[in-house]
Amino acid sequence: MLSTMQDVSLTVTRILKHGMTIHGKSQVTTWTGEAEPQRRSFAEIGERATRLANALKDELGVVGDQRVATLMWNNGEHVEAYFAIPSMGAVLHTLNLRLPAEQLIWIVNHAADRVVIANGTLLPLLAPLLPHLPTIEHVVVAGPGDRSLLDGCAPQVHEYEELIADRPTTFDWPEIDERSAAALCYTSGTTGDPKGVAYSHRSIYLHSMQVNMAESMGLTDQDTTLVVVPQFHVNAWGLPHATFMTGINMLMPDRFLQPAPLAEMIERERPTHAAAVPTIWQGLLAEVTANPRDLSSMSQVTIGGSACPPALMEAYDRLGVRLCHAWGMTETSPLGTMAHPPAGLTPEEEWPYRITQGRLPASVEARLVGPAGEILAWDGESAGELEVRGAWIAGSYYGGAGGENFRPEDKISEDGWLKTGDVGVISADGFLTLTDRAKDVIKSGGEWISSVDLENALMAHPEVAEAAVVAVPDERWGERPLATVVLTEGSTVSYTDLRDFLAQTVAKWQLPERWALVPAVPKTSVGKFDKKVIRKSYADGELEVTEL
Ligand code: AMP
């Protein structure tokens, strides 16, 4: 029997139309570094997005599913591009401005982007790439920055504001198949070439609904979210789309991502929510410890992208800011799990739940797979690789213009599940605890040591600012942990002190014997510990290692 329900396409266009009318008064505030931020209502953003779509179609000749790239900070214009491009049927391709030049060139060429919208402040990055980007025919420049950097470049250059001025404020939005691509984002590519994940209109729509569920971020038009997570990092975790669904106000930091301006914008604009990776929160904590600021408006902060050290969560608890841990990936749109504890618990009882990666929502199915391919129990103890599937989980990767999408064996199982490369356990009530990345786990004498556990234990020491632990080859045990540590300013703590501190919570055989002080832990393009770089520095003999 067929259902009697209507079959409507779930598209980004619907989200745009809804946000710009029903929530027309909600605001996107962009930090400018000047006395006043830029403020635009959703109605204005929607109108400007409509004008941008007209300009892209009529002036730049964008048709069909052509790719329009953005090389932009989080700001009002980027939100306009987020809605204009997919709603006209084209594909928004967000470029990660922290990638090395060769990777950006590879990615733009792979996607065959025709247009790039860039912030003026990023032209020093874009201009030298252009000779290597033959598919780019147009560069649209938004915001301040030195335009002369583009003198003599091959593509046509347009001024964003001039381009969208005097365009119609209506657009004959096409009927879009909800399964077609709306946005494209490449994985950060720590191994091999980057891989393109193409989100569909439908996946974005459904993911936005999940973001807005109370078991996830659950915000309303009474909230303001500070979107620190870049719009090029998995669509800013889905926030720009989710906000247009429910009218959540957005506070966008543009290029002012340093701890001091972030602290200032929180104190002045009083967001109720924020989203960012742990390194941002580490930096902000150091800043407000040195120069106290009022962060108390933020009743909830979503933290993810890499494991949140429990000590960081405790430090923010003391500031009255509750960090809520979330897990996800580029391939999962990214919302996988969020760590809201179950009902009816005391704060002490909640704690073990808060430090997990979180609970699975109804729409994300998960399984744990053991080394022999066996499916493991959800008993909170059996550790295996996490595999997931669902309506906003990638089932393949973009094959490039004219190429077939592909399903690498190490990423997609034969029966269609995404292999996350994350190792962990799941409790009977669906809380996921990651113990490591499959490739970061330390295999010592046939036993596994979790690098994340050691890092978390080390970062609980008051004189440790950051710590990253990697596996290094060891003649006797195969692999052993190397602890690289960043100490707080003026600290004189010794390696023996740190090892004794670790011994309070970590089994003796897991204690690292190799230690190195580093000025900073190297980070990836999206702010995660870059363990590949640490392993290489060790292999190249660049670290001053002390053996205890
Ligand atoms: P990306 O696609 O760059 O966002 O990276 C996704 C990966 O980040 C995941 O596969 C995890 O290894 C890691 N990750 C994301 N969130 C968390 C978290 N809350 N705890 C630990 N690792 C995380």
Of 142, 171, 199, the position where a domain reaches its end is: 199
* Better pLDDT: 54 or 525: 54
Buried b (16+ CB within 10 A) or exposed e, 460-477: bbeebbbbbbbbbebeee
Q: Which two tokens stand for residue 161?
A: 């504001």
pLDDT in tens, 105-139: 999 999 999 999 999 999 999 999 999 999 999 99
Q: Are 458 and 506 in contact (CB under 8 A)?
A: no
On whether residue 336 sits in a domain, the answer given is no
Give the residue, by CA position, lying nearest to ligand 1 atom 4.
329
Largest CA distance in the chain: 74
- At residue 443, the pLDDT reads 84
On whether residue 259 sits in a domain, the answer given is no
The pLDDT of 529-540, averaged and rounded, is 93
For residue 13, which of 172, 171, 173, 169 has the smallest C-alpha distance? 173
Computed over every residue of the chain, the mean pLDDT equals 95
- Give the count of domains, the chain: 2
Q: Are 396 and 405 in contact (CB under 8 A)?
A: yes
The stretches of 59-191 forming alpha helices (DSSP H) are 76-87, 101-111, 123-126, 160-164
User: Does the annotation count 448 as an active-site position?
Assistant: yes
Domain that holds residue 516: 440-547
- At residue 237, the pLDDT reads 98
User: Does the annotation count 414 as an active-site position?
Assistant: no
- DSSP string of 399-412, one letter each residue: --TTSPPB--TTTB
Beta pairing partners, 328: 335
- At residue 477, the pLDDT reads 86
Q: From ligand 1's centre to the CA of 305, what distance in Å?
A: 4
Indicate whether residue 524 lines ligand 1 (CB < 6 A). no
What are the φ/ψ torsions at residue 110 (nearest 5 degrees)?
-65, -40
- At residue 444, the pLDDT reads 86
On whether residue 304 sits in a domain, the answer given is no
Which amino acid, one-letter code, is at 435? T
pLDDT in tens, 276-312: 999 999 999 999 999 999 999 999 999 999 899 999 9
- At residue 436, the pLDDT reads 83
Of 164, 199, 234, the position where a domain reaches its end is: 199
pLDDT in tens, 51-79: 999 999 999 999 999 999 999 999 999 99
Indicate whether residue 323 lines ligand 1 (CB < 6 A). no
Please state the atom number of ligand 1 nearest to the C-alpha of residue 420: 10
- At residue 440, the pLDDT reads 87
pTM of the model as a whole: 0.91
Which of the four pLDDT bands, split at 50, 70 and 90, describes residue 371?
confident
Indicate whether residue 188 lines ligand 1 (CB < 6 A). yes
On whether residue 153 sits in a domain, the answer given is yes
Please state the atom number of ligand 1 nearest to the C-alpha of residue 334: 4
Q: From ligand 1's centre to the CA of 428, what distance in Å?
A: 22
Q: Are 386 and 442 in contact (CB under 8 A)?
A: no
Q: From ligand 1's centre to the CA of 444, what distance in Å?
A: 24
pLDDT at 190 exceeding the cut of 60: no
Task: Name the catalytic one among 331, 385, 455, 466.
Answer: 331
pLDDT in tens, 227-265: 999 999 999 999 999 999 999 999 999 999 999 999 999
What are the φ/ψ torsions at residue 108 (nearest 5 degrees)?
-65, -40
- At residue 109, the pLDDT reads 97
Q: From ligand 1's centre to the CA of 38, what distance in Å?
A: 32
**CATH code for position 105:** 3.40.50.12780
The pLDDT of 327-352, averaged and rounded, is 97
On whether residue 541 sits in a domain, the answer given is yes
Going by C-beta distance under 8 Å and a sequence separation of 6 or more, which residues neighbour residue 308? 278, 281, 323, 325, 355
Distance CA 426, CA 360 (A): 9
Of 152, 171, 199, the position where a domain reaches its end is: 199
- At residue 191, the pLDDT reads 59
- At residue 275, the pLDDT reads 98
Q: From ligand 1's centre to the CA of 357, what distance in Å?
A: 10
CB atoms within 10 A of CB 272: 19
Q: Which of 528, 529, 531, 532 to mutate to test the pocket of ligand 1 (most atoms within 8 A of CB)?
A: 528
The pLDDT of 262-272, averaged and rounded, is 98
CA distances from 152 to 136, 149, 382 (A): 14, 9, 60
State percent of the chain over pLDDT 70.
99
On whether residue 244 sits in a domain, the answer given is no
**CATH code for position 536:** 3.30.300.30
State the Rg of the chain over Cα.
Answer: 23
pLDDT at 189 exceeding the cut of 70: no
On whether residue 144 sits in a domain, the answer given is yes
Distance CA 512, CA 39 (A): 51
Give the residue, by CA position, lying nearest to ligand 1 atom 15.
305
pLDDT in tens, 162-186: 999 999 999 999 999 999 999 999 9
On whether residue 506 sits in a domain, the answer given is yes
pLDDT in tens, 444-458: 887 778 899 999 999
